[in-house]
Amino acid sequence: MRFLFFIAARHLLARWRQTVMLILSVSVGVAILTTALSLTNGFEADLVDRILGTTPHVAVTDALTGMVKDYPRLQEEIKPQPHVKNVLPFINGQALLTRSGFSSGVLVRGIDPAQEKDNPDWTKYVLKGDLAPRGNLPGIMLGSELAKKLGAKSGDRLLLVSGLASKQPVVVTGLYQAGLYEYDAHVAYLDLRVAQQVFGLGDSVTGLSIRLDDVFAAPEVASELQRTVPYSVRSWTVNNSSLLGALALEKRVIFLVTMFIIIVATMGIANTLAMWVLEQSREIAILRALGSSGVTMGRMVVMEGAVVGVLGVALGLAAGVGLSLALGSFPLALPSDVYYIDRLPVRMEPLDFALTAVAALGVALMACLLPARRAIKLDPIEVIRRA
């Protein structure tokens, strides 16, 4: 083995310019792939985190009437269930919000401020203010983008018009920012009791929002609750299945497309080794005449490809980690109305780096098979006779 490595290193150093170019071509492909996967992971993780911060992990609703009655009793029944952190009532309703000639359709979410104050998924997005009334007017909390659209600020009076043609004057008492453009531009929060009056729900609510200590236990919890609760129970994975499927498909496509870059780079290894076998056929013939077998010559060719592959992958992984860290420290700004989030986060997954390294090395070794086969089948007697 040491003899094969010595000969392989000698050949690579003799053509060091070609060797450097081959190593760089492999490393560029690996660096691009690892960086792309880190960006994709970051985008997916950040988007899912923001979605989970603004939507229930498990939602209990009535698909027929749109109302959940006697919800305090239902809350007490659900709270003892495994993984359940809290159970919070909510109201969803469409309305029109107007101010001085400006108007915007909004999704009004009614919440109980007393119960939500202990919910970190809610409080971390509140920029300022609360839902406490100001004088005789109930307070409303606007998304940051919605406030910009209406030109509203804290203390401004707005008019809320519901589908029941009821008009409710409100005053802006707070702002929040979830980081999802669609959410920040179209959602406003009201006190639960005010929302019940606006939408004519009486003592009912639209549903119950169940927060869990493990978000990935949501399908299991939803399945268990569906057996005992006389309402529709859906987990966040079901409500966002299309988005999650699209993100998974995007990651697979990025991996496959970027792998083609590595495959093209490794084709250079195959071409270089094939040319070397052709150019150094006399040297190979002499080694064969001195007792080396054809298989040994084939192993030597594979050794050269392996050295190039290992060095290229190592350099590419280092570059990929460096690029990912740089992008994480200085995130790229994104148009939030297009990509839902306002920056491009980075999340490095060791498994992705390991799979990239294994795939790149595997492709590099496969590229050596044809040149190695030529070296094995080389007839030393014929080569020496012609020489």
Summarize pLDDT for 125-137 with one digit per residue, the tens. Answer: 888 988 888 888 9
pTM: 0.73
286, 344, 277, 367: which is closest to 35 by C-alpha?
Answer: 344
pLDDT of residue 378: 66
How many residues does the structure list for the chain? 387
DSSP 37-105: HHHHHHHHHHHHHHHHHHS-SEEEE-TTTS-B-SHHHHHHHHTTSTTEEEEEEEEEEEEEEEETTEEEE
14, 16, 26, 7: which is closest to 310 by C-alpha?
Answer: 26
Confidence label for 374 from pLDDT (cuts 50, 70 and 90): confident
- Is pLDDT of 115 > 60? yes
- Is pLDDT of 185 > 80? yes
Q: Among 3-17, 156-170, 205-219, 315-329, which stretch is predicted with the lowest mean pLDDT?
A: 3-17
pLDDT in tens, 254-279: 888 878 877 877 777 777 777 776 66
Percent of the chain scored above 70 by pLDDT?
87
pLDDT in tens, 17-53: 888 888 888 898 899 889 988 988 888 888 788 888 7
**What does the alpha-carbon distance between residue 149 and residue 156 come to, in Å, rounded to a whole number?**
14
pLDDT of residue 381: 66
pLDDT in tens, 99-113: 887 888 999 999 998
Confidence label for 322 from pLDDT (cuts 50, 70 and 90): very high
**What does the alpha-carbon distance between residue 106 and residue 54 come to, in Å, rounded to a whole number?**
15
Confidence label for 382 from pLDDT (cuts 50, 70 and 90): low
Q: Let me know: does 170 contact 137? Beta carbons within 8 Å.
A: yes
User: How high is the mean pLDDT of the chain?
Assistant: 83
Q: Among 30-39, 65-74, 376-385, which stretch is predicted with the lowest mean pLDDT?
A: 376-385
